[in-house]
Amino acid sequence: MKRIIILGCTGSIGRSTLDIIRSEPGYKVAGLTAHTSSKALYALGREFPDAALLLSGDDEKLLLEMIRQTDADIVVNGITGAAGLLPSVAALESGKDLALANKETMVLAGPLVNRIATLNGKRILPVDSEHSALFMLLAGRDPETVEELILTASGGAFRDLPADRLSLVTKEEALKHPNWSMGPKITIDSATMANKGLEVIEACRLFDLPQERIKVLIHPQSYVHSLIRTTDQALYAQLSLPDMKLPIRNALTWPDMRPEPSCRLELAGKALTFTEPDPLKYPMLPLARKAMALGGTGPVVYNAANEVAVDSFIKGHIRFTDIARIVSERLYKCRPSSCDTLEEVLATDGTCRTETLETIRRLS
């Protein structure tokens, strides 16, 4: 029986995880946390009466305490944004494996979190679909034989819109993702491709490769989730329906695999296409590479500025194209410092949020 804590249990990842637990044997819900969705959380409390429940609100201390105190084998981290970092650390430090859907954990503090996992003898199992695919493709392979990783991207809500029309798009239009059903922040990040920028950084940290060896291709059909190129120039791809249940299940069962007939992808009659992303249309992608090149706290700045800018866009304070302008300004002004401790990471995150809000106030 695998005991599972789900952080962000009322969000998209949390709900998919619960669907798996309800329909398959061998799992026990040990703990459930939600940020503000009290009604949904209490309903789940009635359904899983043995689980520890926490409505965390903004009380991070309580959340970390709950993760540490609850007996479990694995923590599914489905929290959105930088708020997911310390819960990831608490999970690993209290001897639990980490099924990681919160990409910010690796973006903000990848090297540090990897060290914490190693020190505690615990595993980080990627739940991001691209990274789950890469994890499966790389398993058991000699790293020396891998030339590059290729992440695919859907291109988001404005894939077919000319770049010069982007400044006029609305929040409602940006929230219409063509292939995946996800939370609002990540859907906007898909439209700007900041999501892919974060994923390039995440892949560098998960698989210990420099960003030059991580490529991105737009693949509108979202059947190929990632590819690897080996040094003999063979390409290996992972294909499946765009459904988060597969990467979640892979993380929960690893190193085992369970038969799952219901999400079978048939390829007959399907066309698969790939194009290079246009850096002028998707500036958040080259900006992520710039953040990695800056090193140190560069990725922390990229993420914090983006989170604040996306929040302002959702609230109607700025235009869609302002998101990249704001992140670019913050990156060009930042002096990256080292980030060897969680304190340094969190301090940079906080400062950058304040500065980004000031930039936005000037703009609007």
**Interacting residues toward Mg ion by CB under 5 A:** 128-130
Beta bridge partners of 151: 216, 226
**The tokens of 200 are what?**
């390039």
Residue at token pair 């799952």? 260
Residue number, 128 or 307, with CB nearest to Mg ion: 128
Minimal distance, residue 268 CB to Mg ion, in Å: 26
Question: Which two tokens mark 291?
Answer: 């953040």
Q: Tell me the C-alpha distance between 214 and 138, whole Å.
A: 14
3-class secondary-structure state, position 160? coil
Nearest approach, Cβ of residue 256 and Mg ion (Å): 23
Contacts of 294 by beta carbon, 8 Å cutoff, 6+ apart: 301, 331, 334, 336
Q: At its nearest, how many Å lie between Mg ion and the CB of residue 129?
A: 5
Give burial (CB, 10 Å; 0-12/13-18/19+) of 185. middle
Residue nearest to Mg ion (CB): 128
**Residue 198 vs 305, nearer CB to Mg ion:** 198
SS3 (DSSP) at 238: strand
Q: Closest distance between Mg ion and the C-beta of residue 227, in Å?
A: 14
Q: Tokens 């974060």 identify what position?
A: 198
Q: How far is the CB of 317 from Mg ion (least distance, A)?
A: 27
| Amino acid occupying residue 273 | T
Q: What is the DSSP string of 90-113?
A: HHHHTT-EEEE--THHHHHHHHHH
Distance CA 170, CA 319 (A): 8
Give the nearer residue to Mg ion in terms of CB position, either 31 or 247. 247
Minimum distance from residue 352 beta carbon to Mg ion (Å): 23
DSSP 8-state symbol, 275: B
End-to-end CA distance of the chain: 54
Q: CB 199 → Mg ion: shortest distance, Å?
A: 6
Q: How far is the CB of 103 from Mg ion (least distance, A)?
A: 7
Q: Name which of 10 and 187 has its Cβ closer to Mg ion.
A: 187
- The amino acid at residue 264 is R
Cβ nearer to Mg ion, comparing 94 with 129:
129
Is 176:188 a contact under the CB 8 Å cutoff? no
Q: In whole angstroms, what is the distance from residue 337 CA to residue 118 CA?
A: 25
Residue 224: other Cβ atoms inside 10 A = 19
The answer to whether 92 and 100 are in contact (CB under 8 A) is no
Q: Minimum distance from CB of 130 to Mg ion (Å)?
A: 5
- Greatest alpha-carbon span in the chain: 55
Taking the complex as a whole, how short is the minimal distance between the CB of residue 247 and Mg ion, in angstroms? Answer: 9
200 vs 291, beta carbon nearer Mg ion: 200
DSSP one-letter code for 320: T
Residue 97 or 130 having the CB closest to Mg ion: 130
